[in-house]
Amino acid sequence: MINHIAFIMDGNRRWAKKQGLAAVRGHAQGVDIIKKVIIFCLKKNISYVSLYTFSTENFKRSEYEKTFLFRLLSNELLKGTEDFIRQGVQVRFVGDSSLFPKKLKDTIKDIEEKTKHLKKLQLNFLFCYGGRQEIVDSVKTIVQKVKSGQLSEHDISEETVSQHLWCNCCPDPELIVRTGGAQRLSNFLLFQAAYSEFFFLDCFWPEVTELHLDKVYKDFEQRKKNFGT
């Protein structure tokens, strides 16, 4: 059974170009797939879903694309708040909060506050996120606690590091799914993926259907995990 599933949502821009559309239109189309994923997770009683929404590397993109993405995210959150509440979905934003765009901070804070009591599904938007940066930040926080005497260096363990990660609000994902054809993590959940299963889809993110999701789910059920035994 899957408790936590994570997605690297790759291929939005390539899908748009394939359709003869402006590259940013792929992001808008990708929003509909997120809605399908939420419904699928609720149906399968999956407790956590994490979406690689915007990486720290994505800041290298054009100002036009970033502005479009941030406006799209803000609009969709505002429109979707009632649906999240009705569905019992708690919304969390995970990443370097110091990098969150100012125009989005109030929206993020508002939807997190309105959905914090909901328990059917925790929806994590990994936003302004990078796996290496997350680990470095965790180490810095631990070092500061050792220096101040709050923590002994002898007590530092894997669990200590995990507790200080940005994504400490949920268990490690059993399954990580990537669309778009590439077979790499791209700085996504590097610490948490130690024992995750991987599934790579050749289709672009806006092309994902319920059949794809069913296939991924059934494939996971058939895999045997030994954890080193």
What amino acid positions are annotated as catalytic residues? 10, 58
Please name the helix (run of DSSP H) or strand (run of DSSP E) that holds residue 133, with its range, or none. Answer: helix 131-148
Q: Are 162 and 185 in contact (CB under 8 A)?
A: no
Q: How is residue 132 written in tokens?
A: 């290496």
Burial readout 21-52 (b: 16 or more C-beta within 10 A, e: otherwise)? eebbbbbbbbbebbeebbebbeeeebbbbbbb
**Residue 148, exposed/middle/buried by CB under 10 A (0-12, 13-18, 19+)?**
exposed
